[in-house]
Amino acid sequence: MFESAELGHKIAKPTYARQEPKLREALLNAQFDLAQAKKFPVLILIGGVDGAGKGETVNLLNEWMDPRHIQTRAFGDPSDEEAERPRMWRFWRELPPKGKIGIMFGSWYTAPIVRRVLGQSDDAGLKGSLEEIVRLEKMLCDEGVLLLKFWFHLSKKQQKKRMRELEKDPLTRWRVTKFDWDRFKMYDAFREVSERALRETSNANAPWTVIEGADPRYRSLTAGKLLLDAMKKRLEKTNYKERRVQVPPLPEMDNLGLLRNLDMTQKIAKEKYDTQLEKWQGRLNLLSRDRKYFKKHSLILLFEGSDAAGKGGAIRRITGAVDARHFQVVPVAAPTEEERAQPYLWRFWRHAPRRGRITIFDRSWYGRVLVERVEGFCGVADWMRAYSEINDFEEQMVRGGAIVCKFWLQITAEEQLKRFTLRQKTSFKRFKITEEDWRNRKKWNEYEQAVCDLIDRTSTEIAPWTVVEAEDKYFTRIKILKTIVERMERNL
């Protein structure tokens, strides 16, 4: 993939002097149009050979355009905070919002390539990392991100010459260290692994562009024109999201759905409940304070369910059992303006807990395949692909050390009506009932079908759903606490 970037491409000074002002003006205009439209973000990944002009190009793009609308992030070794979360967490935090340009200097490609070259992973490990990257980039492109990937290349001879030149200049010799020469000795290995990485991740969604970095003028004009061309083409499109028509799941033909096959009569007496509550809360407390084992994990608790099914009461019995310094409850409502400017899963990625911590989601990322599906807030293609995106998201959480427990609390339509009526009549509970709850109730069957589909498609061996028969609040709370404790004990 690098042969064309070793031909000695050059741009003459007069040619550069003529083209550079026009390119700068066009880039500024395109950036202004992007900021005004706020329809999509631009994300540029910068990778390549040391000494090939990556830093100079990033600085030049910030000089040519308005840096107030560019987010430039350089990624080195992960910090302690980043190392205690899933690998992609630190990149998700830095995604640009709609209307902005993001530049990632060093990205999710760096670590997999370096680990393979240094022998810290094998071919299977590299393949798994690259497959994860392909899924991530496909999701970003499906969400409307304009993703550009630039690889700046030098031949082995060119890189050696470049490093010698930098060493000879007193003003730049600080840029070349023993570490750089040690890496240069592994040039062939880096080239082989990098070529494989580019080959396996270059596709129609996000192709790589290899730029020869030996000549600064050629390098600069090439990168600038590639960016300009991509921005102009996207801005000219009215419907920039690539829609894939997918067949939605069929409703059950015999009307026998998962939620209609539950035993809703299960109960626990008050006396037994008090004893059981103390037992399971105590065990949860001990597990969450186990410094030897829990420090290697985090705990993600996710609560979905029918309106008035008792999610809040169940959450309070969990928070009452653990150290308040170590948990966070995240209530999920309609997305804010900031959240709507990002890919759908962004607002959940940023709440991923570090090891030794607990995050409790009151509602969750399943809103896309529930309320957004039923109410028509997104298209069929969006919520159909969300199932696989959610499974991938949860898999990354688990690989990052998280124990994921997902609960669906189910009550009957008759029980829901009783609870709605009680809330309306009780002064300190009136805040719990809204017009939206009554509207949702009218679509009971549609929501029921959506729930059955999401459980079928996202209950996996690493993040299974627990369906809780929630007619009796005592039974509900004990089943949830017991499930959490047993999952933690198996993992710890």
pLDDT band at residue 435 using 50, 70 and 90 as cut-offs: confident
What average pLDDT does the segment 348-359 reach? 97
Position 258 scores a pLDDT of 85
The domain over range 258-491 is classified in CATH as 3.40.50.300: yes
Position 238 scores a pLDDT of 64
pLDDT surpassing 80 at residue 226 = yes
Kindly report, residue by residue over 436-465, the tens digit of the pLDDT. 889 889 999 999 999 999 999 999 999 999
Domains 3-236 and 258-491 share a fold: yes
Domain boundaries, the chain: 3-236, 258-491
Position 429 scores a pLDDT of 78
| CATH number given to 3-236 | 3.40.50.300
Share of the chain above pLDDT 90, in %: 88
What average pLDDT does the segment 58-77 reach? 96
Kindly report, residue by residue over 248-293, the tens digit of the pLDDT. 665 664 555 788 889 999 999 999 999 999 999 999 999 999 988 8
Position 284 scores a pLDDT of 98
Position 190 scores a pLDDT of 96
Kindly report, residue by residue over 173-189, the tens digit of the pLDDT. 998 999 999 999 999 99
Mean pLDDT of the chain: 94
What average pLDDT does the segment 119-123 reach? 96
Residues whose CB is less than 8 angstroms from the CB of residue 364 and which lie 6 or more positions away in sequence, other chains included: 302, 303, 304, 332, 348
Read off the pTM: 0.91
What average pLDDT does the segment 8-12 reach? 95
Kindly report, residue by residue over 383-417, the tens digit of the pLDDT. 999 999 999 999 999 999 999 999 999 999 999 99
What average pLDDT does the segment 149-155 reach? 97
Kindly report, residue by residue over 294-340, the tens digit of the pLDDT. 999 999 999 999 999 999 999 999 999 999 999 999 999 999 999 99
Position 430 scores a pLDDT of 79
What average pLDDT does the segment 205-233 reach? 97
